[in-house]
Chains A and B, each alone.
Chain A
């Protein structure tokens, strides 16, 4: 029903980015955890958020989908402030820990979320295929393995035709073949015009993104394409590049 062409509402056509974050500050538990982040995510591209656990990835993701109370700065998503009512059908979101009903089957879960999103019923079968859960479609979610459960969680985020898809660690605990398949799916979604924000702490996945934000302690350490980051640091792999950037930052007077 909804295509990638921004036809409706407050969205401006043209080259405006899908996400535009300016000087974002977030305070949690009396401590500033995001210190004024600024970046854009163009349509039709995959942005990788990489950094150690506790660096603020999940908080940033929560701010993008508009469930995080922010202290300062702006988050604009598809031309509207993050979390505004008009965006709720156009943004797909999967949290890190699976947020599905453990006592429902895979199909029942997806059917419910599809009706909340007013997505066509056929979407349920489509997303089950996309995440490769065909054989467990009638299984109760509580009896699924961790990897299967995180794929159900991911499937919910793909319902409807979201123009922005925000995924927090979607490939944790999956075998390499499945990870490969999911990244191919992410690429396909981006080619169809969606913008994706995918967090990960696996560096070899980071290489599959169009752009990387390396995060550490609530700051952006580096922002660029994987190739740029590698050549800038003279490193052969991203893990090494990341380490290089950390030492560089620690060495420079701030």
Chain B
């Protein structure tokens, strides 16, 4: 573990993104565009105030999941991962490098969506801006950590991309975004209790409805953070120095 190597890894990943203008533009523009669409599809400020923040949690999560799972898979298939594994680079250096780089990207992404939502789209937020940024950033890191872990099970980029519907869509259905979790059948409710995205959405609901940092929100933040750490550790386990 070395801070210098972690930071070098972060800079390297950011440099890769900087050369890829189209990906960068998609990362920033798509969530903002979806938010604008959402506002005018519902066309009722009340509904937008309720759903908008939940999507602010969902976008960074989904985007980071896809981007990270493909990026890590490329690192594996191009041989750069094997090369790094022969060098004095700790597995955590690599994982934290990814976390920092994509965390920064997520910060910009959420920032742009927020500015547009709070000004042009007239989103009305009860909670603090700080807690909103905190939860969306955590959601982004969660998506990144799960993407890293999931990529270990993909042999090709086709498979990696398919993991998005496999890992993310069921969670989207069950997280309380479409139907409140309390209204679901009890077994579905139980399943949603162990899915991280449920807590991400619940956290966003708390922020949009209540002015202070509630106990529920604290629990949500803790659960998301715990899921992220566990996924990162599992991701580290899948990085092998020696292979067949």
Interface residues of A (CB under 8 A from B): 28-29, 65-69, 83, 85, 88-89, 91, 93, 95, 97-104, 108, 112-113, 115-118, 140, 156
Contact = CB atoms under 8 A, between A and B. Distances in A.
Interface centre among A65, A66, A99, A156 (most CB of B within 10 A): A99
Contact of B244 (A69, A91, A93, A115): A69
Nearest to A92: B86
B88 interface: yes
A67 B16 contact: no
7 contacts: A69-B242, A91-B86, A101-B12, A101-B80, A104-B16, A108-B15, A117-B88
A116 B242 contact: no
A246 B8 CA distance: 49
Given A66-B86, A66-B242, A103 B20 contact: yes
The secondary structure that dominates the B interface is helix
A66 B15 CA distance: 30
A102 B15 contact: no
A115 B4 contact: yes
Contacts of B89: 88, 116
Interface residues of B, number: 25
A103 B5 contact: no
A63 to B, nearest CB: 10
A89 B89 CA distance: 10
Contacts of A93: 83, 86
Interface string B79-95: 11011111111000000
A99 B78 contact: yes
A29 B244 CA distance: 8
Interface in B1-40: 4-5, 8-9, 11-12, 15-16, 19-20
Contact of B87 (A69, A88, A103): A88
Contact of A113 (B11, B78, B87): B87
A37 B80 CA distance: 28
B5 A67 contact: no
Q: Which 3 A-B pairs have the closest CB atoms?
A: A99-B79, A115-B8, A88-B88
A67 B5 CA distance: 21
A113 B11 CA distance: 12
A99 B5 contact: no
B82 A99 contact: yes
B142 to A, nearest CB: 26
A65 B85 CA distance: 10
A138 B45 CA distance: 50
A65 B86 contact: yes
Interface in B57-81: 78-80
